[in-house]
């Protein structure tokens, strides 16, 4: 068992689930410490299993996820469709073809059956769109006031070519960083659906399968790494890359696509769109001479907002945002939880 760096916190807070520093420390210093084994890798979206298929041409991939979004329905989806898309996307960015899901439903006493039916219909439609099947599951009901309406937990199974090499360990100085579309849409759409702060809007969540996007990128030589920027947004993905490559990640504000409603809400409420969750976007890292071809491929897939948003540079492990005015701003690792229960 590895030497333990003790968690400094005495109690769990919402910040331990936001995808940022506190969550990373929780996983590294508690879960990884006690559950350590040669197969556990807490840095990946999906884990490779020691099972070879088709004579070793394919390898089996597995991922797991939980969903607690509030409200249960939001513009562009609901917790059911989100659970399918989120699980499929974790497999897709690992380079896998998603095949099967399992589902665990934790239902709070008093949940309207009509609402549950709409959620399951959304889940079924998402499965059809993604070409996956829910093949097993379990259902639990908890007492009123103890379950937030409905929580879902999923496991996803897929396959990928055994020759594929993707991962944070391949990121290196000189590489270019690409995003497949506008950022912060999901986090902002869910926040508006809560009708807090007197704000309303019709912004749609970007929740969708990214499998078509990842398939297009897999055809590009020089692809190093892919991630779906969910909790903690693109800033958190950038910090993962900075730590893994021991390099400076430089992002260009003028190149990062942010929709007008997202920017307006962030400016009014003091949020930063680079830390807000996306549920249908891919951040990809490519060799310098491959970035233009990757961007062209995404534009051909109707990802019209896709852009090359940054580069990996020699320097200390940090994330630097080059502002529109030519200045610089350090994007610190996320600590506070600006929007709990966002996915």
Q: Compute φ and ψ for 139, nearest 5 degrees.
A: -130, 135
Q: Which two tokens stand for residue 163?
A: 């020759």
With contact defined as beta carbons under 8 Å apart, do 20 and 51 qualify? no
Q: Is the pTM of this model over 0.85?
A: yes
Tell me the pLDDT tens digit for each residue of 200-258: 778 999 999 999 999 999 999 999 999 999 999 999 999 999 999 999 999 999 999 99
Tell me the pLDDT tens digit for each residue of 324-335: 999 999 999 988
| Cα angle for residues 270, 272, 277 (degrees, 5° grid) | 125
Delineate the domains of the chain, giving CATH numbers in brackets. 43-161 (3.30.1330.10), 168-330 (3.90.650.10)
The residues with which 137 forms a beta bridge, in sequence order, are 103
pLDDT of the chain along its 343 residues, tens only? Answer: 445 677 888 898 888 888 888 888 888 888 988 988 888 888 888 999 988 888 889 999 999 999 999 999 999 999 999 999 999 999 999 999 999 999 999 999 999 999 999 999 999 999 999 999 999 999 999 999 998 999 999 999 999 999 999 999 999 999 999 999 999 999 999 999 987 767 777 899 999 999 999 999 999 999 999 999 999 999 999 999 999 999 999 999 999 999 999 999 999 999 999 999 999 999 999 999 999 999 999 999 999 999 999 999 999 999 999 999 999 999 999 887 667 888 9
pLDDT for 4 equals: 63
pLDDT for 1 equals: 46
Select from 310, 309, 217, 205 the least CA-distant residue to 261: 205
110-121 burial code (b ≥16 CB/10 A, e <16): ebeeeebeebee
């Amino acid at each position: 068992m590895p030497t333990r760096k003790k968690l400094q916190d005495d109690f769990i807070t919402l910040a331990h689930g936001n995808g940022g520093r506190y969550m990373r420390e929780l996983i590294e210093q508690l879960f990884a410490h006690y559950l350590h084994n040669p197969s556990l890798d807490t840095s990946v979206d999906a884990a490779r299993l020691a099972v070879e298929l088709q004579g070793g041409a394919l390898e089996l991939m597995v991922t797991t996820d939980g969903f607690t979004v509030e409200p249960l329905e939001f513009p562009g989806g609901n917790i059911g469709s989100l659970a399918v898309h989120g699980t499929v996307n974790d497999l897709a960015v690992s380079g896998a073809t998603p095949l099967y899901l399992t589902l665990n439903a934790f239902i709070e006493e008093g949940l309207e059956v009509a609402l549950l039916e709409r959620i399951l219909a959304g889940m079924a439609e998402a499965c059809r769109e993604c070409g996956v099947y829910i093949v097993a599951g379990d259902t639990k009901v908890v007492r009123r006031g103890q379950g937030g309406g409905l929580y879902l937990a999923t496991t996803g199974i897929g396959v990928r070519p055994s020759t594929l090499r993707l991962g944070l360990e391949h990121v290196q100085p000189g590489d270019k960083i690409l995003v497949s579309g506008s950022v912060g849409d999901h986090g902002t759409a869910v926040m508006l659906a809560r009708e807090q702060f007197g704000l309303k809007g019709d912004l749609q969540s970007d929740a969708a399968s990214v499998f078509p996007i990842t398939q297009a990128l897999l055809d590009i030589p020089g692809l190093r790494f892919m991630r779906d920027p969910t909790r903690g947004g693109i800033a958190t993905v950038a910090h993962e890359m900075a730590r893994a490559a021991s390099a400076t990640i430089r992002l260009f504000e003028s190149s990062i696509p942010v929709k007008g409603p997202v920017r307006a809400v962030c400016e009014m409420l003091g949020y930063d769109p680079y830390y807000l969750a996306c549920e249908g976007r891919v951040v990809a890292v490519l060799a310098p001479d491959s970035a233009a071809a990757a961007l062209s491929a995404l534009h051909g897939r109707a990802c019209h907002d896709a852009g090359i948003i940054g580069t990996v540079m020699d320097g200390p492990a940090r994330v630097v945002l080059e502002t529109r005015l030519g200045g610089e701003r350090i994007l610190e690792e996320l600590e506070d939880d600006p929007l709990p229960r966002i996915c």
